[in-house]
Structure 1
């Protein structure tokens, strides 16, 4: 096997650091400048109309997959739907919205539910300097993190309706519109509303935070998952989970109230004492805004009568709002996987003294050039992009922690705007142990046996 090719750029040839795409200076999605567009609206005494996400079928369902009658749909501004539209009414909450009937984007809304817990992150995604007040011009903006860069997404506030009712996500408070506008901005990034149909929770969690994402198949988790979730909650992580697919079709409601093939938000992790024994609980939210678990520790469960009055009043809710508690044991039986996204992976270590650092690299797999295939392709494997990572010696407080002290994540950038037209290639990575550093220019070392994959 030829020697590996290590990506190393001489110092004098390294490109200048690009400061654009940060929260302070986000990239302008589709080259639309929010401030300039808003200024133009005031100057011309008109409300904004977004020509790059028009109010027609191309923005809803260009491939006609949702089965909607487009002739029935009217795009209305909130002021044409209600008399007193507001962006936010009495704060942002996970109970504000319900999923629409025509679009299977529970993965997105489960992430929104997690987002509502973190005010700072919410303010990043939905800048606070906008409303239906005096400076209203029919234009709003949202920020998402896309493949290493923050982008500023501009939309008008025309929303698709049938008979005056929103057809996609809608607020339980009739004059509150932040959920519908956030969904529209994300639909614009995805290409259309229909391009949001079906997806992975991890996509939206990353787009909201730009953070570190970890995914666990619950049945195969090799750690104390409840303790990890408890630490993640304290670290203000965003968490969501998914149920097993049904044998016949998705969204089948089981007798116990759990929906098959459905995404949920993890909204709480708590331990109660029941008959002198500790019980680990998980609180979960259905993005439908209704439909709950009916087993042990559900709203009507008699087990709540066996805990202290304080714990019962703190945790139990009888509202049919889609949120419920269940034991960790039942959680592991009914949910297939869990996604956790946080600005830092510090929660992975049981010691509060541990602090992680991160580094990112960008490269490409090109057919015939750098796409060398997996380890089975011994003659070409070495041509794959390679990166040398040095792990610094751990502090005494962190040494011996489990999991190990390296987390590797691979992300595929989209080559097309419309999300459903993107080809998801099977790209993986191997991590090798290297015995010593390469100091001389051009010097390379053969990798040892893969440490992990």
Structure 2
């Protein structure tokens, strides 16, 4: 993906730099202090074993790809043990920088997570935030750490380096060099956040991208965009996204109602996540091409503009160089084919700059924690329930009205420790009387509810005072949420 352009920062009005939960001072996940633990184990000349995420089947979970007797044969080993066949080199954390070509998916069905990692490797500053690259096996105590943005704040996640193996091979993601371990260790840290490795099975890349950026996600239905003749707008968004150094991922639809990763005649994998690693134009801008990456590290598109397509022989030499004929999982395809064979694409960025391509404007962000409490603030559907029991946020908005100048993100917090058991309620300090709703018409008149972790809306607002009401579809539904309000720098939150 293009390294051109720059992305302006977010002015976070809640987590000022240095405060706990900010990017420079992440909160300690499970109250584990990485620096203190590492120092203690080094002084005692012992290797860290994580009791909060122990190296056993409890942390592995019930993986669909393993039978019960295979689970019994899973062995947890440290990278310092020469268990990987044909590799004699000493283990390393990260060699010559992180690359999307470093790894291939293992037996955990987490292509969505690995597609997001592939996209993350293009963002060097974000990469250093999520994956502290000063870690190594030379200053060794069997302990590593990674950082993720989780429900309103950054957290630092500590792990030991025991990794699950089967038949002396890594069960999870593996680095192609054999002796490099930043990806399997990062996967383990995220598995700890999710509850188990099995809890990482199936998901959306936008979820992981959100946890890598703490920023904004926008999802597009590709077939709908193409059907309604919005190819130009979609191409503009993809081009802006690469210019803003956004993370872009996509997915193919399931086949026949099954989520199985079957391989079609096109070479594409059904019900599978990919990352978008670049866009370009050929033939004087008449052909728009999208470059994609399969997190398997192999298995590529076989249609027009694929690695072996003779169409590459008809373009300028400088365009021909963009195509690398190798089995690495990366390939090009036409925008029209991209929209036809892929069902969705998500763009994730630290801020909403990619929405209008304005790289100079700064955005302010205010983050609120809230709760739906039965009988107090869980009023349910605004149209059908008692309006005096809604939680509301009062927001003054000052500044000139420009196109799409405020973005709202409502994210539900999990009520379960294990990701696969989480159920999100259909959603869109004080109480509002019913008279308020009779006197004031809502900006958004129609209300649709969705059982997703995060809902995002973009609006154009005139200066004024607004009330934001997060609600669930049904009344008396308890839960916790994070509301993020992004506004352009020519607007002011009070």
What is the TM-score with the length of structure 1 in the denominator? Answer: 0.86
The change in CA–CA distance for 1:277 and 1:45 in structure 2 (over 3 A counts) is closer
Partner of 1:78 in structure 2? 79
Using the alignment, how far apart are the partners of 1:16 and 1:288 within structure 2? 37
Partner of 1:447 in structure 2? 440
After TM superposition, the structure 1 = structure 2 runs for residues 44-443 of structure 1, keeping only pairs within 5 Å, are: 44-61=44-61, 66-68=66-68, 69-80=70-81, 81=83, 83=88, 84-100=90-106, 102-133=107-138, 135-221=139-225, 224-249=233-258, 250-273=260-283, 276=284, 278-313=286-321, 315-377=322-384, 379-381=385-387, 383-394=389-400, 399=402, 401=403, 404-428=404-428
- Check conservation: 1:65, 1:194, Cα contact below 8 A: no
Q: For this pair of structures, how many residues does the alignment match? A: 413
Q: Which structure 1 segments of 5+ residues have no match?
A: 1-14, 429-442
Using the alignment, how far apart are the partners of 1:66 and 1:165 within structure 2? 14
**RMSD over aligned Cα atoms:** 2.2
Using the alignment, how far apart are the partners of 1:148 and 1:444 within structure 2? 30
Using the alignment, how far apart are the partners of 2:15 and 2:360 within structure 1? 34
Using the alignment, how far apart are the partners of 2:64 and 2:355 within structure 1? 44
Displacement after TM superposition at 1:376 (Å): 3.6
Displacement after TM superposition at 1:248 (Å): 4.8
Deviations 1:363-394 (A, max 9, x none): 122233322222441x4145322223344333
Displacement after TM superposition at 1:67 (Å): 2.8
What is the TM-score with the length of structure 2 in the denominator? Answer: 0.79
Using the alignment, how far apart are the partners of 1:130 and 1:298 within structure 2? 38
Deviations 1:194-217 (A, max 9, x none): 111111211110111111111111
Partner of 2:461 in structure 1? none
- Check conservation: 2:375, 2:389, Cα contact below 8 A: no
Partner of 2:492 in structure 1? none
- Check conservation: 2:15, 2:22, Cα contact below 8 A: no
The change in CA–CA distance for 1:288 and 1:35 in structure 2 (over 3 A counts) is same
Using the alignment, how far apart are the partners of 2:65 and 2:426 within structure 1? 26
The change in CA–CA distance for 1:418 and 1:335 in structure 2 (over 3 A counts) is same
Partner of 1:26 in structure 2? 26
Structure 1 residue matching 2:444: 3-state secondary structure: strand
- Check conservation: 1:27, 1:150, Cα contact below 8 A: yes
The change in CA–CA distance for 1:65 and 1:415 in structure 2 (over 3 A counts) is farther
The change in CA–CA distance for 1:191 and 1:318 in structure 2 (over 3 A counts) is same
Displacement after TM superposition at 1:321 (Å): 0.8
Structure 2 residue matching 1:51: 3-state secondary structure: coil
Deviations 1:216-274 (A, max 9, x none): 1123347501111111111110110011111153211111111111111011111122x
